[in-house]
């Protein structure tokens, strides 16, 4: 996920105490058909893991 000026501002607001909490990425597809036909949605949801990492969360503190 690309950092923009608006989410850089959010990044500046994140403090150490925030990073001590888990970052939870909720990924949901309702049916097998959605998994097969809407793969971009799935990729975008999993990209939130990369986004959390870019904000400072260590991989072991990100729950998918």
pLDDT digits (tens, 9 = 90+) for 8-34: 445 678 888 888 999 999 888 778 887
Mean pLDDT of 58-64: 94
Calculate the average pLDDT of the chain: 81
Tell me the catalytic residues: 30
Contact between 23 and 57 under an 8 Å Cβ cutoff? The reply is: yes
The whole-number pLDDT of residue 8 equals 47
Local structure of residue 15 (DSSP, 8 states): -
- Please answer whether residues 19 and 56 qualify as being in contact, where contact means their C-beta atoms are separated by less than 8 angstroms: yes
- pLDDT-derived band of residue 60, with 50, 70 and 90 as boundaries? very high
pLDDT at 2 over 60: no
Using CA atoms, how far apart are residues 5 and 64, in angstroms rounded to an integer? 26
**Element holding 26 (H helix, E strand):** none
* CA gap 56, 19 in Å, rounded: 7
């Amino acid at each position: 996920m690309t950092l923009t000026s608006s989410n850089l501002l959010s990044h500046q607001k994140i403090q150490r105490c925030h990073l001590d909490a888990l970052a939870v990425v909720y990924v949901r597809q309702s049916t097998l058909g959605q998994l097969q036909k809407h793969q971009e949605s799935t990729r975008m949801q999993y990209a939130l893991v990369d986004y959390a990492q870019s904000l400072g969360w260590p991989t072991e503190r990100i729950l998918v």
